[in-house]
Structure 1
Amino acid sequence: MISPAAPLELRELLVELNDLKRVRSAGRAGSIAERLFAQGWAALTGGSPAEEVALEITAKALAAARLCDLDDAFLGAAGLSDEAVGDVLVAGFDAVASHIDSTLADRLRDRLRHRRSLPAGPLPGFVAALAQQPRAGVTCPGRARILLEPPENHAEHCLMVAVYGVALSPFYRADPTLVFVAAMSHHFHNAAMPDAGFTGEMLLGNHLGPMMERTTQWALGELDPDLRVTVERARAVLPDDATAEGRAFHAADAIDRVLQIAQHLRAASLTMATVLDDMELVHAGPVKGFHDRVLTDMRIP
């Protein structure tokens, strides 16, 4: 019997987390995923250990799956006590994390209950560049590109693969920190290099390798020597699936690429029965009866 290549029980969590690339709030620039990508790099350049950053960003992402931007900063500003903020964040985490490895879940939950302030260093230029660089869409050599709007950007993709990688690491017995850093840096070349997808890579032919190496070095050159060593060590797992960390990374990368397209298809096939019956768009409350009559008399939908 062939062992499974990935943990099916995490599927629904990964699907839900993917929407962090599309959740935005007033007064905050970019999606939650884009902002967590920047927070992660600021913490790394600020000198925080990579393990601490991986846990911090992953915990925030899982809590945000249901709470969105009702994060610790907002909850505290809105008047909740420190204990109450922790209660809310942990409740958000527990709402989605039932299938996360228990040891990892305890560590992530602790980050939300006992919050630490990670020093923020300067953001390297590649952070903003990756946030401005759209992903290619669906490409295949010899065929026209399929573009699905709005496109995700490379910062969002890298963040999502990093969070997925941490969540998947126990299944592969991989070092989650190594997977996180590898994922956060795996599209360094696209900070400068426009994304033409698989089609463009094939058309570049023998020029592709040297070009990716050169543009990757531009991004690595923005890091201080110690952090650069950490990142280069993590990036060593990227070329193949020969290591546990390589398998965790490539599983996360493939899952995110396909789920990004799946959410477009899911939206296109959404039915009013799902919206009204399953999701209770017109939900229970003191005026639900009136709402239902209005919709019936207006023949909506």
Structure 2
Amino acid sequence: MTLLVTAATGHLGRLVVTALLDRGIAASDIVAGVRTPEKAADLAARGVRVVQLDYSRPQTLAPALEGVHRVLLISGTDADRVAGHRDVIAAATAAGVERLVYTSAPRVDEIDYALGADHLATERAIAASGLSATILRNNWYTENYLDAVARAADTGEIVAAAGDARVASASRRDYAEAAAVALTTDDLAGRTLEVGGDAAWTYDELAAAASEVLGRPVAYTAVSVEQLTAGLQAAGLDAGTAAFVAGIDEAIARGALGQTDGSLSRIIGRPTTPLEDALRQALAAR
């Protein structure tokens, strides 16, 4: 069975390839789809077949999917990501791929937020394609907070407009292992799962974890969405990007990331990585 991992040179994609190898999948059965093959020399050196696959260049899709049985579609980062996702879905359907696994976002059918809208559109495109699919609605990556923690080393504060909301984050490695399970077994076929860390933490708890990791006091400073937007613009972001980023905090405040039911730990067969441990490991790897 040949398994294709898209965006394989990204943070998550590389970890998925490693997770597949750790599960005993032969390197020759793994295809790394990448935008720039030269950046995947390390994967090729491990025996993984590297192919060019660029969401924004549809002509690269059919050759990359040739002979592939299952595909992990890691969500893109381009402004028009949905169009790229739809092209991959169409190419996978034409290639006769037997299963598609997609990394979506939390609660996209329950809470309206800008980031979630693209993922919901992709989920609907997958459903309309008729492909057998597994949708992994990944909660936040703990690594998303590395910049905030790094700034706190100087400022002593983490600033956010998330109020007293909770976040059930997990490490990228945790999510990568779940993707590997979805690709290599039939256990999750046809399912849409909300997956996240075992414990949902508050931003006060994030600040406390940052204090332990940094070895200095860190406090959470709660601000309004308007204050955060203005602060981001003052830091150099354009108005649209600032509003988008602040809108994510607003969605977090409405509970977008607060749910957890242990699904991720059950999938990967171990507890998810605790907040402080994940931050410490990620900062050490920087």
Which TM-score bucket, shorter chain as reference? under 0.3
| TM-score (structure 1 length as normaliser) | 0.27
Q: Which has the higher helix share?
A: 1
Q: In terms of Rg, which structure is larger?
A: 1
Q: Which has the higher strand share?
A: 2
| TM-score (structure 2 length as normaliser) | 0.28
